[in-house]
Chains A and B, each alone.
Chain A
């Protein structure tokens, strides 16, 4: 298990991390979310010793991560980059050996991964001769070639075409199923919702939400309720001015409700206005969870609204 414990890091007057803590369990894919500048890349750099935290600890398997532990990690930085004039095969083999593999094992793993990425015939090509998409594949292979126990990918989907996204998703799922810890950051929340079991949301250097996506959704104070009452034109809502209306389309309304909301009372109210054709209680989307979590504390918190509703 990867444990991030109370990481803090300042760059001059800029606070990059302000006591961030979370865990990532192998077998559960973790999406690491946050607005730009929230501290995602700094956290990842701390995992790899590329940034030294002012405070806090990174642990793997209960022990503080050292260089030997990092040899069993795979990293794909946000700023992609490999040696442009080095041959693809030699490049991968070089990185595999830097992770402690013997020359022979490194060559074998290189051949296997290039084949897997559909680049089996490009072993001898220089990296710069490859298309942008294929260079991205090599970059991913660089993070994977030494068969790491933990995979940390910074924005792995950025700049990928749909085929590339599919390959990336497959590889991430397959590695996770093989017991590898996977943490990746992304701004594509639909993709994260699709791929990840867990999410960690960071804002202003602090973790503002973490846990299983389903649990977070269930626990959210912003559940959705869609109600359609035939011919009522939403008039029944007048009795409940405390409810937040997200969308109103004729007879159909979409409401934001607290998870403790008294559904029976609402259903009764709707029924009194006419025939209820639709009454759907739905968890929020990940993007809504995200917006809720990263919203600055000065805005009206959903909890306040929910309190009145209950």
Chain B
């Protein structure tokens, strides 16, 4: 029988057993819910209605509606008018929440008029309506003045940002942050699943039956592979939910670089997960009980956390600085650092290629070492095994 079939069977078992477990299904549902919720909830709470409904007491100044609409459009607000024959009717409508505000200005623009709100005054709406009324009055007063000159006089100064942050930039920043968190969460939840899986097989002694036909390294590889497929599935569900939610709620404009960013995230999630789960897998084999396993895995946890913080604090501030460049070529750090740099378009292609190459090579070496340690340790069930002993015992 080919080794590949053996590996595939191990991976398939992991996928079926874990993929059907209540824990996994709940965790996928839960994360999806959080993603969708984090988009939908703010839209409900802060987004408010896109169109402001305003009551107009007739008779109103003839061009008031047009003027308000023009100003509102300039300020990115849409307004829908409802006409009422009397102030009483308009007040009732306001009371019944049919409109948000009522404008009561005499048709001939005599007197100050009023804008009535139900409870809170809306400063933004107030300034739009105010500007419109003032403009109409001024127009009447200055009817003899050249309309072009008047228009010129009424043009407000332009708002200019020195270093404008586009929506795409904001989205990039968000992507970079989410990406780093996803890689970290993926490594912790699925890498630790590999660790627990290895210890469970040891504890239940099934490993002796399995290893009477499956090579230790094939078992480790199948395990990493199968659990990785589940991790990738969860990541995909997460991303798809996020993209759809972003689209539907229109919270922010997705940058053009989205497909590349998603691809980068996928690639580095795979590399990061493989690297860390391989390390966690063979360290797990050194333990006989879960408590020992978490002790054995502490160094790996520390490295992962350190890498994450380097990415979040050093690289995010200066994506093409020295620290970022050095971290790119340290395989345990690369999965956190490179997607960040890529999201900011701050990594030259040669660095990207070299970083992927180095990480893959590192994983290869780690797996070769790990598989030997795993083989030497996984059948020893008495207490915690020393790394060196495991290495020697599998050496012959």
Contact = CB atoms under 8 A, between A and B. Distances in A.
Contacts of B201: 83
B202 to A, nearest CB: 9
A44 B319 CA distance: 58
Interface in B84-126: none
A304 to B, nearest CB: 41
A82 B204 contact: yes
Interface in B192-248: 201, 204-215
A82 B1 contact: no
A20 B296 CA distance: 37
In this complex, the interface size class of chain A, counting residues with CB under 8 Å from chain B, is 20 to 34
Nearest to A72: B213
Nearest to A154: B208
Interface in A214-256: none
Given A94-B9, A98-B6, A98-B214, A82 B209 contact: yes
Chain A binding surface SS class: loop
Nearest to B203: A81
B9 A98 contact: yes
Given A82-B204, A83-B17, A97 B209 contact: no
Interface stretch (A32-40, A48-56, A195-203, A272-280): A48-56
A39 B209 CA distance: 19
A99 interface: yes
A93 to B, nearest CB: 10
Interface in B360-389: 379, 381
A19 to B, nearest CB: 17
B181 interface: no
A98 B17 contact: no
Interface string A84-112: 11100010001101111000000000000
B17 A85 contact: yes
A90 B16 CA distance: 10
A85 B118 CA distance: 62
Contacts of B208: 50, 75, 77, 79, 81
Contacts of B379: 45, 50-51
A71 interface: yes
A48 B215 contact: no
Given A79-B208, A81-B209, A82-B206, A71 B1 contact: yes
A94 B13 CA distance: 8
Contacts of A98: 6, 9, 210, 213-214
B205 A80 contact: yes
Given A50-B379, A77-B208, A98-B9, 7 more contacts: A45-B379, A70-B212, A71-B213, A75-B208, A82-B204, A82-B209, A100-B1
Interface of A: 45, 48-52, 54, 67-68, 70-71, 73, 75, 77, 79-86, 90, 94-95, 97-100, 142
Interface of B: 1, 6, 9, 13, 16-17, 21, 201, 204-215, 379, 381, 394, 396
7 contacts: A48-B211, A49-B212, A51-B379, A70-B213, A84-B204, A85-B17, A100-B1
8 closest A-B pairs by beta carbon, nearest first, are A81-B205, A100-B1, A48-B212, A79-B205, A81-B206, A75-B212, A77-B208, A81-B204
